[in-house]
Structure 1
Amino acid sequence: MLDRWTMPLTHRPLKCIARPLQQVGITPDQVTLTAFLIGISALPLLAYEQYGLALLVIVLNRLGDGVDGVLARLSGRTSDAGGFLDIGLDFVFYAAVVLGFALANPAQNALAAALLLFAFIGTGTSFLAFAIATKQQAIERPHFPNKAFYYLEGLTEGTETVMTLVVFCLFPAYFASLATLFSIACLITTAIRLWGGYWTLRRPEKP
């Protein structure tokens, strides 16, 4: 919901980070993999309730997730392979963070974490299934031209997800309640994407 406003605001600072990386020959895929390795360390950190350190690696992961795309465009290395790697590792990272909170306090957090993972399956599959279909029909990206895949909007997009992960780390005692609320929002997003995607594909845009 917020991505259409936040993405233009982050482009310039991300470009400032990407330019030096381009000059020393670092590739977008290297940034993607490095960001993932940093981000996945949130899983053990959360399991051991190191919420401050977990927040730091989550922020670094999301920063790298933005830099890799900008670097790809600056260096002319945009590709379906890079986009696939990026989105695939993103979903693994999101799931790892949720699992980390479940491991931190299974009695309190496990059920809410399971619900959120269930909701993530809905948002993720609706996103990727629509991306495959739009690729086949050559439907363009009206609002997010720099995304590797067609970006079907919803109530919970990248900005809302990152904000929620940050709030989880800042207020870990309230994870169960916060995760339940976010799960509801994700399920609404899934419904919106399924409905909107169905009607978009029934009336594809003309090239």
Structure 2
Amino acid sequence: MGMFDAKIRPLIDPILNAQGARLAAFGVTANQITVAGLALGLMSAAMIALGLTYWALVPLLASRLADGLDGAVARCHAPSDFGGYLDIVCDFVFYGAVPLGFVALAPEINGLAGAFLLCSFYANGASFLGYAVLAEKHDMQTAARGVKTLYFTGGILEGAETIGFFVLLCLWPQAFIPLAYAFGALCFATALSRVLLAARVFFNR
């Protein structure tokens, strides 16, 4: 169970939905916002690699705002399966690009910790997507984290915690190694919790 995601949804969704309706009225599509959000995220990762970690916060936070707005715009029309697919692909690219930026900033120093962090993201992502596939197969539904194309399971760490972690890294880049190991360990714990949940829910199905 993520500490923040499910709790902040009721607070931020009305704001995002209102802004999404305005953007949709101007003809902006959800997929355009998704791609723009990825571009901002990659810009942030490039700035991190160049040592501009403080300034990288601007496109980083803007990319996450876009990640919230694309769903709000999609809900003003008919959400498409491809839109949900594009959103999750862009999210995963963003989540991998930011740690890669810190590794590129100081590969000899940050390389091993960065590899550990990315491996933990890989395991966490696999547990999340695998569960979503099985949930779809069994017609499971949830809206605890907003209306989504994929089934979202809870975990120790979710999107809000990850963004907070990235912000902390940008503000305190010299602590990348201990922070990466600590967060990576929690990501592995989150992945394990999903595997155990899947075993309980799907083992006899």
TM-score interval for Structure 1 and Structure 2 normalised by the shorter chain? over 0.9
Aligned length, in residue pairs: 203
2:53 aligned residue:
51
2:198 aligned residue:
197
**2:109 aligned partner, one-letter code:** Q
Q: Contact 1:152/1:197 (CA < 8 Å) preserved in 2?
A: no
2:150 aligned residue:
149
- CA deviation map 1:53-105 (0-9, x unaligned): 211111011000000011111x2221221111101110111100000000101
Of the candidates 25, 28, 32, which is equivalent to residue 26 of structure 1?
A: 28
Distance 1:107 1:191 in 2: 30
Give the drift of 1:142: 5.6
Distance 2:142 2:19 in 1: 26
1:169 aligned residue:
170
**1:19 aligned partner, one-letter code:** A
Distance 1:142 1:195 in 2: 22
1:50-69 matches, cutoff 5 A: 50-69=52-71
Matched, 1:89 2:68: no
* TM-score, scaled relative to structure 2: 0.94
Q: Contact 2:9/2:146 (CA < 8 Å) preserved in 1?
A: no
In structure 2, stretches of 5+ residues that fail to align are none
* TM-score, scaled relative to structure 1: 0.94
1:112-151 matches, cutoff 5 A: 112-141=113-142, 143-151=144-152
Share of identical aligned residues, percent? 34
- CA deviation map 1:6-63 (0-9, x unaligned): 1111112212321221111111011101111111112221111111221111101100
* Secondary structure of 2:55 counterpart: helix
* Secondary structure of 1:146 counterpart: coil
CA RMSD in angstroms comes to: 1.3
**1:24 aligned partner, one-letter code:** F
Between 1:51-60 and 1:89-98, the stretch displaced more is: 51-60
Matched, 1:187 2:188: yes
Of the candidates 13, 17, 20, which is equivalent to residue 19 of structure 2?
A: 17
In the TM superposition, structure 1's runs of 4+ consecutive aligned residues that sit over 4 Å from their partners are none
Q: Contact 1:32/1:86 (CA < 8 Å) preserved in 2?
A: yes
- CA deviation map 1:128-182 (0-9, x unaligned): 1111111111111163351221111110101110100010101011011111100
Q: Contact 2:96/2:118 (CA < 8 Å) preserved in 1?
A: yes
